[in-house]
Amino acid sequence: MQRAKPGLQFQQILKTFPTSVHEPLQTIQNAGGMLAAEHCRAVMESLNISTEDLMPRLLPIARLYSATAISDFQVGAVAKAGMSENANSIALFLGANIEFPAQALTQTIHAEQSAVINAWLQGAKQIDAIAVTATPCGYCRQFLYELAGSQNLKVILHNQINGKTGRHNLSDFLPEAFGPHELGSATGLMASPAQHADLNFHPSSNDPFVRQALAAAQKSYAPYSQNYAGCAIKTIDGKMYAGRYAENAAFNPSLSALHTAIIHMNMDNFESEKKITRAVLVERPASISQRAISELLLQTVAPGVNLEYYEAE
């Protein structure tokens, strides 16, 4: 049975909430899957609930962003993140799993990764908690452990069958963990202050699309390889989405810049045309490269579109 379009399902889910919060919740689909701090406060005050009580209630909306052509198993996640040093500036970021037919399963993006990257790309400072519709797999536990402050990260599990919600520390799921410290790194994903790589083209490019990919590369996270990389993709409706490489101490849970750009695009308005017409990758040459995996994935998500490649130093 074919599912209703995500936009229609969103409106149906909205009806399960009191009408007093429909207006702030409507903003999610036009804000890249984010419930901004002021709207988050408005919903909590209206419902008289805490942020961590609100998060599981948004999971049905998060699942609408899933693209599961292989498994048909939709997973949603909601990340709680601070937007500034002000403790009251808390926003919620949605994410969902994305699968790529005709590609190896290792290309899959997990919901927890999607929510974290969504927060990172939209300027969040630190993830404090994450709610998910299913217990995080080992891969996601390792990915979350890379976050700055992960020792205090709360994982909120919502049982879709009995409706019960449980709260856990990430350390409960990943005892005796391997992370940045084991590789001699004192930083972490979304660490504050943010570390920016000083990169430039030789020769320089004035193409604003290419410059957007360079700006993303400068903000990428690559403490182990220094393979700073950024990607920009353009869709048929003229929209541009940038993504940054996000490295992981365990290597495999790392996300390429194209993967994070796809997350950026996927979390846009449900009605947006998501047909990619142009893709640019900018990276700093290192012992590894994002080029080959990006070209491989692009063949599936945008057949016929060639990856434009630039090196920066």
Q: Which residues are catalytic?
A: 112
Cα–Cα distance for residue pair 236/18, rounded to 1 Å: 37
Q: Answer whether 257's CB lies under 8 Å from 231's CB.
A: yes
229 three-state secondary structure? strand
Cα–Cα distance for residue pair 278/242, rounded to 1 Å: 12
Paired residues of 255 in beta bridges: 246
Cα–Cα distance for residue pair 14/31, rounded to 1 Å: 16
Q: 305: which 2 tokens? A: 């579109």
Query: Considering all CA atoms of the chain, what is the largest pairwise distance in Å, rounded to the nearest integer?
Result: 60
User: 181: exposed, middle or buried (C-beta count within 10 Å: 0-12, 13-18, 19+)?
Assistant: exposed
Cα–Cα distance for residue pair 272/205, rounded to 1 Å: 29
The radius of gyration computed from the CA coordinates of the chain, to the nearest angstrom, equals 19
Cα–Cα distance for residue pair 92/255, rounded to 1 Å: 21
CA 45 to chain centroid: 27
Q: Which helix (H) or strand (E) holds 76?
A: strand 76-82
